[in-house]
Amino acid sequence: MKIIVSLGGSVLAPRDPDRVGAHATVIEGLAEEGHTVGAVVGGGTVAREYIHTARELGANEIELDQLGVDTTRLNARLLIAALSERAATRPARDYETAGAALRRGEIAVMGGVTPGQTTDAVSAALAEYVNADLLVYATSVPGVFDADPDENPEAQRFERLSAGELVDVIADIEMTAGSSAPVDLLAAKIIERSGVRTVVLDGTDPERVERVVNTGEHHGTDIVPAESDEPTYWAMND
């Protein structure tokens, strides 16, 4: 299968070499099993530290986003450092470069691409560009909820959402540089138009990524194409 894995910066914990190494081991394992694998790495706490400081200094949101992009590329280099020579030697800065690496049988690694989005959108765009079979968001919560679970203990996790429903859920989440969301709005729209099979799961344990790829099993949120005849969260709760 052709798989794009979006590694949330909060999950990669760049100051923890064991965590970075564990994610690299899973990605390498998938490649060794014959899968074509691309990884996109987020900015995490380091990005947010830079963004917070620069915001205090009066930088605008585009300047802050660019700081975030640069930080995601540093984190991407950390993942590359943990991967074997199967991986491209530097983070791809555009989708053509990443796609060419995948065609050569390499593990492509990306960070951010441009201001006004997050690496969630990079992951969705790369998945669409290479016609991926599966897009996995390894984030810091077990899926998409009807409210921020870190703020609302009553938040309910969606087992399944259509891509259109995902857009509706994400649309109200504030988007400033460094803001948090399980999937950003542009990513949700790209997932909707491309119909790429998508799963949002808690990637703290990298083995969950391997399991969803090889068995389809997970305890996160399935984002299914609109025409899916299986009931989604709202249908079940009418």
Ligand X SMILES: O=c1ccn([C@@H]2O[C@H](COP(=O)(O)OP(=O)(O)O)[C@@H](O)[C@H]2O)c(=O)[nH]1
Q: Is 164 annotated as a binding residue?
A: no
123 binds ligand X (CB under 6 A): no
Minimum CB distance to ligand X smaller for 136 or for 224: 136
- Helix extents (H) in 37-177: 44-56, 61-82, 95-103, 119-129, 163-171
| Phi, psi (degrees; rounded to nearest 5) at 190 | -70, -40
The answer to whether the CB of 183 falls within 8 A of the CB of 118 is no
Neighbour tally for 82: CB within 10 Å: 18
Residue type, 135: L
What does the alpha-carbon distance between residue 138 and residue 147 come to, in Å, rounded to a whole number? 18
Does 11 bind ligand ADP (CB under 6 A)? Our answer is yes
50-109: contacts with ligand X (CB under 6 A): 64-65, 68-69, 72
**Among residues 74, 100, 173, 175, which is the contact residue for ligand ADP, using CB under 6 A?**
173
Of 92 and 144, which has the nearer Cβ to ligand ADP? 144
What lies within 8 Å, CB to CB, of 73 at 6+ separation is 91, 93, 111, 112
Query: Counting contacts by CB under 6 A, is residue 8 touching ligand ADP?
Result: yes
Q: Which pair of tokens denotes residue 212?
A: 């969803």
**47 lines the binding site for ligand X (CB under 6 A):** yes
Distance of alpha carbon 206 from alpha carbon 138, whole angstroms: 8
Decide if 111 contacts 75 (C-beta within 8 A).
Answer: yes
Which residue is listed with tokens 């491309």?
194
Write down the residue that tokens 């794009």 correspond to.
4
Name the binder of 150 from ligand ADP, ligand X, none, CB < 5-8 A by kind: ligand ADP
Write down the least CB distance from residue 85 to ligand ADP, Å.
28
Q: Give residues 157-216 in contact with ligand X (rule: CB under 6 A).
A: 177-178
**Which of 145, 163, 187, 189 touches ligand ADP by CB under 6 A?**
145
Rounded alpha-carbon distances, angstroms, from residue 32 to 106, 171, 205: 11, 38, 20
Q: Is 16 in the site for ligand ADP (CB under 6 A)?
A: no
Q: What is the contact surface with ligand ADP in residues (CB under 6 A)?
A: 8-11, 42, 139-141, 144-145, 147-150, 169, 173, 180-182
**Known binding residues:** 9-10, 43-44, 48, 65, 113-119, 139, 145, 148
**Known binding residues for UMP:** 43, 65, 113-119
Q: What is the contact surface with ligand X in residues (CB under 6 A)?
A: 8-10, 42-44, 47, 64-65, 68-69, 72, 112-115, 117-120, 122, 177-178
